[in-house]
Amino acid sequence: QSALTQPASVSGSPGQSITISCTGTSSDVGSYNLVSWYQQYPGKAPKLMIYEVSKRPSGVSNRFSGSKSGNTASLTISGLQAEDEADYYCCSYLGSSTFVFGTGTMVTVL
Amino acid sequence: QVQLVQSGAEVKRPGASVRVSCKASGYTFTRYYMHWVRQAPGQGLEWMGIINPSGGSTGYAQKFQGRVTMTRDRSTSTVYMELSSLRSEDTAVYYCASGADYDSSGYWVDWGQGTLVTVSS
């Protein structure tokens, strides 16, 4: 199973909105509404930001939102802040209790 | 509060095996599935497998089939991940993650601190 495809990097200015795509296939992203997104700072464990495509865990800013269309899921960060500069990974259920991560996207706040 | 505390860093020779532990506290151990994720230096996250702490059933990524074994000890609320036939490419930080109460859920809200495994001759 190949990793889901994400852009290597996305950048934006403070206050702007950015969107990170996560492209899979009809066997993973397209088959299940079970895509999650993780934020990771260097040297730290990942943090769950979005689950089940568009749900936010308690405590996660509503500046983070998720969506899906066909085989592509997206994470949008609105009102970009300096603290949002991190790596972001999508993750999709594959069936049979297995999962696959995306290739990861480095977000830079200009 | 939920805590997942992993064992310390390991240095192994190629061909050896390593066992990493993840001790859970702050919740009913058998309630949430446990996943293992690894990250090689400068690389992305890679899902390795899942274990149901209640019944002990497991599921592994195809890449690790035959080389990884995940087990649990309910008496100590600890899950283990053993990886055999180590090679240099297995050098990575290994994480346990939990929070999902069904196997297809990606609600991995709690993570261990990570365990660095270095494979070197």
Closest CA relative to residue A30, chosen from A81, A74, A62, A73: A73
Tell if the CB–CB gap between B106 and A46 is shorter than 8 Å.
Answer: no
> Chain B, 13-72: which have a CB under 8 Å from a chain A CB?
35, 37, 44-47, 50, 59-62
What is the band of A99 on the pLDDT scale with cuts at 50, 70, 90?
very high
CA distance B6 to A10: 33
The DSSP bridge pattern shows strands A64-69 and A47-50 to be unpaired
Per-residue pLDDT at B85: 98
Q: What is the mean pLDDT of residues B85-93?
A: 98
Report yes or no: A32 and A93 within 8 Å, Cβ to Cβ.
yes
Per-residue pLDDT at A33: 96
Q: What is the mean pLDDT of residues B100-105?
A: 90
Helix and strand totals (H; E) in chain B: 0, 11
Per-residue pLDDT at B68: 98
Per-residue pLDDT at A1: 80
How many beta-carbon contacts under 8 Å exist across A and B? 74
Give me the sheet containing B78-83, strands edge to edge: B3-6, B18-25, B78-83, B68-73
From the list B61, B97, B113, the residue facing A98 with the nearest CB is B61
Per-residue pLDDT at B61: 97
Tell if the CB–CB gap between A51 and B114 is shorter than 8 Å.
Answer: no
Q: How far apart are the first and last CA of chain B?
A: 40
Per-residue pLDDT at B19: 98
Q: What is the mean pLDDT of residues B86-111?
A: 95
Chain A positions touching B4 (Cβ under 8 A) are none
Residue B87: is its pLDDT beyond 90? yes
pLDDT one-digit tens code per residue, A15-66: 999 999 999 999 999 999 999 999 999 999 999 999 999 999 999 999 999 9
CA distance A94 to chain B (A): 9
- Counting residues of chain A whose pLDDT is more than 90, the rounded percentage is 99
> Chain B, 76-105: which have a CB under 8 Å from a chain A CB?
95, 97, 99, 103-105
Residue B71: is its pLDDT beyond 90? yes
- Residues across chain B: 121
